[in-house]
């Protein structure tokens, strides 16, 4: 049995990662959420489950698709963004450093976060669309590529990345649109 999984990066946030702990979507972010929903409607089965990170921007990105399918969005904290160990104002500098590192340099807490995401994806048995974050997607891709760089690519806001789970395990099918090097 092959089960498809789509990871969708949230739309553009209304505030940067260093300005607000849980911003909603900007105007552009809402447009990106609508565009993602329109793209997904054409390719996903009607029995797909919708799952979101607990962050507001991920939930708001899921909303247009949930409304089209008239189905609930399950909130799963496993898909929450990477936890920053520093104060809000220091997060951009910390993230820049983190993004230049490898997974081998990370704390047990960060590795546990990444491993939890992989285990949860490997356990998926129903076609699933998961609304999540830049580093969630990069953590999965790095694990599947068995590559140590924390950043594997730059998933754009609202981008859709396809994976499958089958008897060989979790596999990457295709990466979605990339962005320039700006994180929000």
Position 179 confidence tier, pLDDT thresholds 50, 70, 90: confident
Tell the CATH topology of 3-126+134-174.
Rossmann fold (3.40.50)
Over residues 55-71, the mean pLDDT reads 96
pLDDT for 182 equals: 55
Share of the chain above pLDDT 90, in %: 90
pLDDT tens sequence across 75-120: 999 999 998 999 999 999 999 999 999 999 999 999 999 999 999 9
pLDDT for 48 equals: 94
pLDDT for 172 equals: 97
Over residues 129-151, the mean pLDDT reads 97
Q: Cβ distance 5 to 155 under 8 Å? A: no
Do the strands 128-132 and 73-75 form a parallel or antiparallel pair, or are they unpaired? unpaired
Domain ranges of the chain: 3-126+134-174
- pTM as predicted: 0.95
Q: Report the SS3 class of residue 35.
A: helix
Q: Is the pLDDT of residue 184 over 80?
A: no
CB burial of residue 32 (10 Å; 0-12, 13-18, 19+): buried
Rounded Cα distance between 167 and 90, Å, is 43
Q: Is the pLDDT of residue 157 over 80?
A: yes
Q: 70-97: string of b/e by CB count within 10 Å (b at 16+)?
A: eeebebbebbbbbebeeeeeebbeebee
Contacts of 123 (CB under 8 A, 6+ apart): none
pLDDT for 180 equals: 73
């Amino acid at each position: 049995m092959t089960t498809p999984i789509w990871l969708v990066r949230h739309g553009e946030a209304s505030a940067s990662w260093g300005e607000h702990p849980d911003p909603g979507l900007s105007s552009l972010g809402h447009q990106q959420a609508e565009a993602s929903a329109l793209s997904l409607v054409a390719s996903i089965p009607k029995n797909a489950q919708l799952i979101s990170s607990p962050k507001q921007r991920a939930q708001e990105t899921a909303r247009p698709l949930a409304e089209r399918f008239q189905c609930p969005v399950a909130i799963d904290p496993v898909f929450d963004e990477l936890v920053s160990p520093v104060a809000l104002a220091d997060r951009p500098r910390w993230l820049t450093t983190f993004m230049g590192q490898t997974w081998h340099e990370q704390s047990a807490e960060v590795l546990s976060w990444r491993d939890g995401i992989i285990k949860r994806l490997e356990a998926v048995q129903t076609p699933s669309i998961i609304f999540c974050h830049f580093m969630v997607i990069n953590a999965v891709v790095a694990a599947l590529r068995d590559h140590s760089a924390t950043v594997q690519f730059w998933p754009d806001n609202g981008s859709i990345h396809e994976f499958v789970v089958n008897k060989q395990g979790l596999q990457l099918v295709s990466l979605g649109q990339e962005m320039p090097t700006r994180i929000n």
